[in-house]
Structure 1
Amino acid sequence: MAAGCAGGTGLSRRRLLSGAAGMAIPLLASPLLATPRLARAEAPVRARDLLGREVALPRPARRVVLGQGRHLAVLNLLHPDPASLVVAWSEDMRRGEAREYAKYRQRFPALDQLPNLGQNLGGASLEMILAARPDLVLLSRRNLMALGEAGAQGLLRSLETAGIPAAVIDFFIAPLRDTEPSLETLGTLIGREAQAQALLAFHRGRMQAVRTVLAGAASRPSVFMHVHAGGTDCCYSPGRGVFDDLIQAAGGRNIGAETLPAETGQLNLEAVLARNPDVYVATGGPFGGRGGVSLGVGVEAAAARASLEEVIRRQNLGSLPAVQGGRAHALWHGFNDSPTHVIAVEAMARWFHPQAAAALDPAASQAVLNERFATVPMEGTYWTDMA
């Protein structure tokens, strides 16, 4: 598959560890090869986080506290055994992405035994964090916002006093701004610089491809993104930031950003109908099987499409001209906190600009991520269209 080779050699980690005849090559085949690798694993590392703070470790982190549980999915793209790094975490992945978590748990059963720090560290205490004996605490901008300015500064000071390095990374609040520096910081701090640089090259290449095909687009279609469609009252929508950034990158204009000052909020159904958006995009996954759109790991394409059609019918959105005109689609909600959002941007660009962006191939991007980066692959249906 030629498209799957973009952004790198296309060779998998499994093939790189095998010989021409298919025989396994030991990772530590000779002292000449092993010594530099071991030296790098023990060498001090330094990085700068999103707050501009320098974070220094005596060696790459091996015991990590995740303030944002969903960052396990980012570690999954950088490390061959991501769960082995985590010694405590927030519960947002377990609560919000049940299907995805079940797949990770199947691969790494010890995840169920990790200390639970609550939602956005809401159930954590400094004593709980210290009890996990971390050599790095990873925080997100969402963690800091949830704690408030005084609480966030207090936590950072307390960790510093205790001699525990902390770094702020984020893939959610402003993904177009924060994703690449966050990957660089994370890759350095866990000793996976080469993998992080490969992922950065892939991410940059795919995003540049979108910018290139949309360079001549005459206009930006208006988009209504229906967040957690069917799982909540109609009609929640992204405001500014988060999915709004991705909609803009895909060449669309988010109608929610014009009236909602926060990251998300509720739009009146009548107002949505009056705005008559050019394209309808639902997000699904967390409420799949509970009234929402079913998307994500293990979901069959036919079930995803049927669930989207049912949500549109049940929430009285069938009269939208975008729906009647075949411009109704759905995306996996989990794209909003991971570098895998490149898949969402490519899919939306094709929906918003079907002629200009026809050459984009989100399925090929998913295949490359699975083959070259992911330890736990994305296997299921992560976007769909109304029949």
Structure 2
Amino acid sequence: MSNFVDECGLNVRGGDGGAGCVAFRREAHVNRGGPDGGDGGDGGDIWLVADHNTASLLSFRDYPHRRAESGRHGEGKRRHGANGDSLEVPVPVGTIVRDQGGEILADLSSSGTKWLAAKGGEGGKGNARFLANNRRAPSFAEQGESGEEQWLRLELKLLADVALVGFPNVGKSTLISRISAARPKIADYPFTTLVPNLGVVKVREDFEMVVADIPGLIEGASEGKGLGHQFLRHVERARVLVVLLDLASYEGTSPDEQLKTLLTELETYKPELLKRPRLLLASKHDVGIADVPDSCMPISSMTGYGLEGAVVEMERLVRQERSQLTVANTEEVIHRPTPKGIRVEKSGNNLFTVYGRSAERAVALNDLTNMEALQFIQISLEKLGVSKALKRAGIKEGDTVKIGQLEFEFHEDGNFNF
């Protein structure tokens, strides 16, 4: 099984918030000490971090779940629970994050970029927080909020200075093994390379470039034939395209026909690829029987003929492209917007579900048999405008309302029957 994985699923869940504490001050010579329950700690967040030391998504193939630490519960004497530790998950630079519907959520294209994948739950308030003039000894506290959880699709688009493009068995792997320390599998049959190989070419002390050996393309690759979409994806972000043509005549086609087919496939997949700087190399010059096309450099990876000149030309094109790039902020942090307000959805004949963090937090108390707690929920929901929103949605007397884990009956007078 290959150690290179460029697509996978990932399940992330932030840590749960700790529960608030119900406690009262009990001390000698202190009469009616009052509530002193501490707050729960916040749950840890999960961040995806673009890391240049991570080469593929292999670590998620067999272990696709990531969990952050939950917050500790509050204690008496107003001792607040500790926050849970956040978890930073390294992913390769060039990782695209999608939701289950395929929508792009984040593009981690520069080293150090962080994206908030799952936010930890907020810690619950202790009963000391509910002290009021008309509530001198609150005997309820708030539960910790559950951490966010979601499934994500991760997709890797390799970031390379140069992409080697050509038909199967044209000599791409042999070339990258000669000009870099990469050691891909090399054999005398098509599709020897099934995953991209990266090699670092050190031209001189102050300059090196990353070269990607892209698995062989065939006619129809832009339509997905021969895993074409999977392979072409890795060409998208290369600064320079090196197109290898087979002088030994790939399946009886001339170098000119090979070039025409390859450029057609690139243009069909993504037209802007043809605007990239391009270097044409005529491979297998030592055994070739075809004429070298115009504007094409002949090389032989077996004998080394022409390789030095090809590397120098790659360097020139890469330097030219790098000089046009602005320096990216490598510490960029991407936050997801948090939806605000409340939303009501009707399902079935008489069930109305209220969504919204503020409403769900309002009913997340530890003891729903406590009359004080129920009165507090009633007041909080009225302040949030839940009754008005339910009426706008068409609710009627006796219909069921669901907020978070709490279900109750609705009454026309605005009171909820918990």
What TM-score, normalized to structure 1? Answer: 0.21
From the CA coordinates, give the structure whose radius of gyration is larger.
2
Larger relative contact order (CA 8 Å, sep ≥ 6):
1
What TM-score, normalized to structure 2? Answer: 0.20
